[in-house]
A and B are shown apart, each in its own frame.
Chain A
Amino acid sequence: MTKLVRVIDMERCMGCRSCIAACHVENHLTPGAPWNVMIEREVGKYPYSRTVFSTMNCMHCEEPACMKACDAIGVKAIHKSELGVVTIDYDKCIGCGYCFAVCPYGVPQETQAENIDNLFPGQDKTPYEAIPAAERHPTHRKKGKTYQKCTFCAHKIDKAVADGKVDRIGKDPEYTPSCDVVCPVSARHFGDLDDPNSEVVKIIGEKKAARLKEEFGTHPQVYYVLEGGDY
């Protein structure tokens, strides 16, 4: 089996936000509905203070509370794939917001209808916006008044599956989430938790990476090398 996980090393992250920019471009993000955000805070006291940076995205939980809530109301718009990727089907989503309400990390974001047609009102569409819906991956066919969130770059993962290259996920840029590819200080890693030789397994073990808000029992598939205390 392959279990895809991400490791974010807060000891290395310098807050440059390259991952956030990459996500914006790669996933056709619309204003007000980011898939990846930077959370920073100051620790210590002046003059011995410093800033701790961390990016937040969907944890692709093994027990996704969002999916349970969506299933409970019979909508079943949220799916978890065999590789562990949690995605929302915009065609099924009714925009109730329950996934957001139950997600311990507050991840799903509502797509504002007015924001999906034109990023720069009054101007021509950007080349990304001009891509016809039919040519986009389903996760990039945003619909107003539905919820969206990080998909672990599902379009790339799906491509790896289609190309028979699942073993290259986390290694080849074309099969690896863009945020993890662009980090200039190797603070982000992506790979297979079930492969004992993978980089993610080594980092989780060596640096004692932890999962956030374990008390919810959602078993996130994103690990953090924590810096600056308890989250």
Chain B
Amino acid sequence: MWTKIAAATLMVATSVAFAEKPVQSVELSRVAEKLRNHEIKIEQGPGMDREHGRFHVIHSDVLMLDCSTCHGKPKYREGVLNFSKFKPFPVKAKGQFEKDVCLGCHQEGGIATSFYTPSTTDE
């Protein structure tokens, strides 16, 4: 099912993933909205697995984000205090992911489900 959806959104999302003009991210936000409204249905349940989990299906197959959007260098930056840098690097991974990338969409007011508040918010 999601492959059909992916094909349908291909035109929009491909240009969006490599967005240069602001108007294109409006399109990305529309796809994100459709995901949240379940207009675009994903069969896979929550999970990180590339084939069987929603996470990569949504980000890679529906939103058509290139792997390199999130996965960068094979190592964490020197001196970054990140717990997971001590985990063995997954063999199939396309490179370690930089968490900062998530902020672009998942910060409050962004186009995706919000997990992060603006850092200036009063406590």
Q: Determine how close the nearest CB of chain A comes to the CB of B60; give it in whole angstroms.
A: 14
The docked-state distance in angstroms from the alpha carbon of A1 to that of B100 is: 33
Residue of B nearest to A41 (CB): B79
The docked-state distance in angstroms from the alpha carbon of A97 to that of B83 is: 15
A228 within 8 A of partner (CB): yes
Q: Are B47 and A218 in contact (CB under 8 A)?
A: no
Q: In the complex, which of the residues A56, A62, A102 contacts B123, with contact meaning CB atoms closer than 8 Å?
A: A62
Q: Are B114 and A107 in contact (CB under 8 A)?
A: no
Q: Are B82 and A106 in contact (CB under 8 A)?
A: yes
A138 within 8 A of partner (CB): no
Q: In the complex, which of the residues A52, A54, A97 contacts B47, with contact meaning CB atoms closer than 8 Å?
A: A97
Known interface pairs A39-B86, A100-B84, A106-B84; A229-B79 also in contact (CB < 8 Å): yes
Known interface pairs A37-B86, A101-B55; A231-B81 also in contact (CB < 8 Å): yes
Q: Are A72 and B116 in contact (CB under 8 A)?
A: no
The docked-state distance in angstroms from the alpha carbon of A103 to that of B80 is: 14
Q: Are B81 and A102 in contact (CB under 8 A)?
A: no
Q: Determine how close the nearest CB of chain A comes to the CB of B122; give it in whole angstroms.
A: 10
A75 within 8 A of partner (CB): yes
Q: Are A215 and B119 in contact (CB under 8 A)?
A: yes
Q: Would you mind naming 20 contact pairs between A and B with Cβ atoms under 8 Å apart?
A: A39-B85, A41-B79, A56-B81, A68-B113, A68-B115, A69-B113, A96-B45, A105-B81, A106-B99, A107-B83, A212-B81, A216-B103, A216-B119, A217-B107, A217-B116, A217-B121, A218-B117, A219-B117, A219-B121, A231-B80
Q: Are A215 and B79 in contact (CB under 8 A)?
A: no
Interface hits, A216-231 → B, CB 8 Å: 216-219, 224, 228-229, 231
B22 within 8 A of partner (CB): no
Residue of A nearest to B121 (CB): A217
B72 within 8 A of partner (CB): no
Q: Are A41 and B117 in contact (CB under 8 A)?
A: no
The docked-state distance in angstroms from the alpha carbon of A94 to that of B54 is: 13
Q: Determine how close the nearest CB of chain A comes to the CB of B111; give it in whole angstroms.
A: 15
B78 within 8 A of partner (CB): yes
Q: A52-B79, A106-B84 are in contact. List 20 more A-B contacts (CB 8 A).
A: A37-B83, A37-B86, A41-B78, A41-B79, A54-B81, A56-B81, A63-B117, A68-B113, A68-B115, A69-B115, A73-B46, A98-B48, A98-B55, A104-B116, A106-B83, A106-B85, A106-B99, A218-B116, A218-B117, A219-B123
Q: Are B81 and A72 in contact (CB under 8 A)?
A: no
B33 within 8 A of partner (CB): no
0/1 interface trace, chain A 142-174, chain B, CB 8 Å (1 if under)? 000000000000000000000000000000000
Q: Are A96 and B103 in contact (CB under 8 A)?
A: no
A65 within 8 A of partner (CB): yes
The docked-state distance in angstroms from the alpha carbon of A73 to that of B103 is: 19
CB-CB < 8 A to A102: which residues of B? Answer: 102, 106, 115
The docked-state distance in angstroms from the alpha carbon of A68 to that of B106 is: 11
